[in-house]
């Protein structure tokens, strides 16, 4: 199956294209400070949904926290187990049950920063040969190299 037929691989390629020649770990390290600036500029508009069914900025930050929690867990399963099952999750449900709409965006960004720091540390200290798995949910690569 080529990248055009596999949505997971196409999504991965899209994200890597956004990073370009930059070090992905450095891009991740910059996200919290960028988010702090965006939230400060947005003010109360950070809680407004741009359209029905879409996340507000605060909810989007909460979704980013959830994604880092999932990466945090998946990465450890992948490194610790042979071919672990990798479950998917419904991002809209996670955001809905987490109450992110009313959360303090500063606290969410602090949490995101800590999770990213832990994930980056583990990833950078993982041997190359351990950086792969089959994602049972999508049938594609579980982590980007």
pLDDT tens profile 96-133: 999 999 999 999 999 999 999 999 999 888 877 776 54
pLDDT, tens only, 70-83: 988 988 888 888 77
| 102-110 contacts at long range (C-beta below 8 A, 24 or more positions apart) | 103/58, 103/62, 105/35, 105/39, 105/46, 105/57, 105/58, 105/61, 106/36, 106/39, 108/58, 108/61, 108/62, 108/65, 109/32, 109/35, 109/36, 109/39, 109/61, 110/32
Domains of the chain: 22-130 (1.20.120.450)
Quick check: 139 pLDDT over 70? Answer: no
CA angle 91, 94, 98 (to 5 degrees): 145
Helix (H, G, I), strand (E, B) or coil at 10: helix
């Amino acid at each position: 199956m080529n990248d055009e037929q596999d949505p997971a691989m196409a999504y991965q390629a899209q994200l890597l294209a956004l990073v370009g020649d930059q070090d992905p770990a450095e891009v991740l390290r910059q996200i919290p400070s960028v988010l702090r600036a965006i939230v400060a500029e947005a003010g109360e508009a950070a809680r407004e949904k741009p359209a029905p069914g879409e996340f507000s900025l605060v909810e989007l930050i909460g979704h980013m926290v959830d994604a880092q929690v999932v990466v945090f867990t998946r990465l450890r399963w992948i490194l610790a187990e042979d071919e672990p099952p990798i479950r998917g999750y419904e991002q809209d449900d996670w955001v809905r049950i987490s109450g992110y709409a009313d959360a303090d965006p500063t606290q969410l960004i602090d949490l995101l920063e800590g999770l990213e720091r832990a994930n980056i540390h583990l990833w950078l200290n993982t041997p190359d040969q351990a950086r792969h798995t089959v994602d049972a949910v999508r049938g594609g690569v579980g982590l980007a190299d």
